[in-house]
């Protein structure tokens, strides 16, 4: 009989000790974790990136204020987080806050993971919460850096494309300049020739090469053919010069 009583006392003491340990190992204090980040972009752009990230992670936007977003996530029926083996990270009921500010050189943000105060955490559960919050924050930071790299590469591509376009335009300008000089040369003029000089040179060329002036002057046929070709070249050059110089058609 005495042995049985002793066994019952020991068993009760063991159960009592387990209850004390559970009480010591649990807490009703709100568990939270937060960290900050900066990025060389506007606060609005950083806010958009983080919002996209959190929504893809199962968060719901609860409230949006000036420079502050509030999200909710998790199963509201959960009342305790004993350890990570007993619950998934996205099941933990929590409120997430994201604060944004414009600062010199870019944007600043602070992200806070707040477990609901109705949830009790063991020491292992608290450690699980902190580790998962840190890992999720690092994933968000990785996304921000990825977007920044993509933007930098896009800017490089745009810069290269603009450079090629400028070089193409420069080459086109050079080609137009060469063509302009060539047309002036056909009229026996230099680059600094005035429009009046162009007109005078064209009239002289017409007197020399116009077919009507050569007919009936005992000029050999092959010379007339050369004069006709020359007259066509001079006339075409004169017309192009008139178009480039913006002269009226009756000039």
139, 140, 143, 147 alpha-carbon torsion, rounded to 10°: -160
Listed residue (27, 40, 93, 99) closest to 69, CA to CA: 99
115 close to 97: Cβ distance less than 8 angstroms: no
pLDDT in tens, 138-188: 999 999 999 888 888 888 887 777 666 656 545 554 555 677 778 888 888
pLDDT in tens, 71-101: 999 998 999 998 767 788 999 999 999 999 9
CATH superfamily of 25-149: START domain (3.30.530.20)
Length of the chain: 251
pLDDT at 23 over 50: no
What pLDDT is attached to residue 164?
63
Question: What is the longest distance spanned by two Cα atoms in the chain?
Answer: 156
Mean pLDDT estimate for the chain: 79
Domain with CATH 1.10.287.110 in the chain: 177-244
Measured CA to CA, the distance from residue 183 to residue 241 in angstroms comes to 7
For the chain, the 3-state helix, strand and coil shares in percent, each to the nearest 5, are 60, 20, 20
Pick the CATH number of 177-244 from 1.10.287.110, 3.40.50.261, 1.20.990.10, 3.40.50.11540: 1.10.287.110
Residue 178 has φ and ψ, to the nearest 5°, of -65, -40
**Tokens coding 168:** 């193409």
What pLDDT is attached to residue 28?
46
CA angle at 147 for the pair 146 and 151, rounded to the nearest 5°: 120
33 close to 134: Cβ distance less than 8 angstroms: yes
**Tokens coding 59:** 């968060």
Q: CB burial class (10 A; 0-12, 13-18, 19+) of residue 124?
A: middle
Q: How many CB atoms lie within 10 A of CB 134?
A: 13
As a whole number, mean pLDDT of residues 8-24 equals 48
Distance of alpha carbon 64 from its chain centroid, rounded?
Answer: 24
Domain with CATH 3.30.530.20 in the chain: 25-149
């Amino acid at each position: 009989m005495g042995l049985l009583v002793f066994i019952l006392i020991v068993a009760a003491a063991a159960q009592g000790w387990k209850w004390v340990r559970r009480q010591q190992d649990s807490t009703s204090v709100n568990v939270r974790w937060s960290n900050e980040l900066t990025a060389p972009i506007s606060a609005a752009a950083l806010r958009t990136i983080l919002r996209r990230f959190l929504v893809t992670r199962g968060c719901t936007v609860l409230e949006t204020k000036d420079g502050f977003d509030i999200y909710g996530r998790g199963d509201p029926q959960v009342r305790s987080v004993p350890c990570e083996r007993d619950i998934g990270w996205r099941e933990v009921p929590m409120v997430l806050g994201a604060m944004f500010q414009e600062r010199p050189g870019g944007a600043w943000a602070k992200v806070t993971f707040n477990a609901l105060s109705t949830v009790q955490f063991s020491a292992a559960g608290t450690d699980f919460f902190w580790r998962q919050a840190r890992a999720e924050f690092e994933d968000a930071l990785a996304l921000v850096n990825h977007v920044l790299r993509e933007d930098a590469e896009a800017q490089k591509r745009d810069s290269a494309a603009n450079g090629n376009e400028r070089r193409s335009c420069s080459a086109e300008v050079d080609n137009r300049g060469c063509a302009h000089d060539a047309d002036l040369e056909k009229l026996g003029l230099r680059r600094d020739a005035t429009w009046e000089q162009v007109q005078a040179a064209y009239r002289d060329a017409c007197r020399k090469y116009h077919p009507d002036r050569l007919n009936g002057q005992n000029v050999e046929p092959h010379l007339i053919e050369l004069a006709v070709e020359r007259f066509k070249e001079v006339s075409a050059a004169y017309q192009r010069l008139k178009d480039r110089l913006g002269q009226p058609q009756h000039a």
